[in-house]
Amino acid sequence: MRIGQGIDVHAFLEPGSANHIMLGGVEISHDRGVLAHSDGDVLIHALMDALLGALGLPDIGHQFPDSDPKFSGANSMSLLASVVALMDQAALRIENLDATVLLEAPKLVPYREAMIQSIAQALGCEQERVGLKATTTEKLGFIGRGEGISAQVVVLLTSDPK
C-alpha cells in the first residue's frame, strides 16, 4: 500500500471573466474563471500531486513546469493521464481516493456525479473508489471571501491485483 496527499489553490478572476471553471475534468458554470497557467483544474492538480506523492516522485510543478510554454492552457486531464501512466509503470492501482473541494460558490452538487465519473474513468477504477465532497469555509478566509478555490486529495494505492 502507498498513501499520498495533494493540495492545490487557485485565485478566482473578477466576475464576468469567464462562463465556467474546470473541476475534475468537468465544466462547471460560473461567471469567474481562475488564474492559472493551465486550465486551472484545482481538483485534478491536487489529485496529481497525491498520486505523485504516493509514487515518491516530485510534484506537478516539477513534472509540468509553469515556465514551459508547452503547458500553457494545458488540459489537466491529459496531464493526469501521464501521471496515471507512471502509476501503471509502478504496477500500482487505486485502492481508493477521497477529495474535498473548498469553495464558497458555485454549488457543486449538480455536477458531483459527472465529476466522479470523469475521475474514475481517468484513473481506470470503479466509481465506488472515488470519494468527493465540497465544503464552504463559513465565509472565513480567502475561500470564504470568494477570492479563491482549493482542493485536498488523499489517495491509497495498492499493488494487489483487482
User: Could you tell me which stretch among 23-31, 37-45, 103-111, 134-142 binds Zn ion (CB under 5 A)?
Assistant: 37-45
- Of the pair 43, 97, the CB lying nearest Zn ion is at 43
Q: At what angle do helices 42-54 and 76-89 cross, to 10 degrees?
A: 10
Cell readout for 140 is 472565513
CA separation for the pair 144, 138 (Å, rounded): 6
What is residue 32's three-state secondary structure? coil
Q: What cell was used for 18? A: 469567464
Classified as helix, coil or strand, 26 is strand
Helix (H, G, I), strand (E, B) or coil at 109: helix
User: Per CB under 5 A, which region of 4-12, 96-104, 107-115, 117-125 contacts Zn ion?
Assistant: 4-12
Minimum Å gap between C-beta 36 and Zn ion is: 6
Residue 93 within binding range of Zn ion, rule CB under 5 A: no
How many residues form the binding site for Zn ion (CB under 5 A)? Answer: 2
What burial letters (b/e) apply to 45-76, b meaning 16+ CB within 10 Å? bbbbbbbbbbbebeebeebbeeeeeebeebeb
Residue of 30, 32, 45, 93 interacting with Zn ion (CB under 5 A): 45
The window from 5-13, 17-25, 85-93, 102-110 that contacts Zn ion (CB under 5 A) reads 5-13
Q: How far is the CB of 152 from Zn ion (least distance, A)?
A: 12
| Stretch of 1-9, 64-72, 78-86, 97-105 contacting Zn ion, by CB under 5 A | 1-9
Residue from 4, 8, 53, 125 in contact with Zn ion (CB under 5 A):
8
Q: Does the footprint of Zn ion cover residue 64 (CB under 5 A)?
A: no
Cis ω on the peptide bond leading into residue 69 (within 30° of 0)? no
Would you count residue 129 as binding Zn ion (CB under 5 A)?
no
Residues near Zn ion, by CB under 5 A: 8, 45
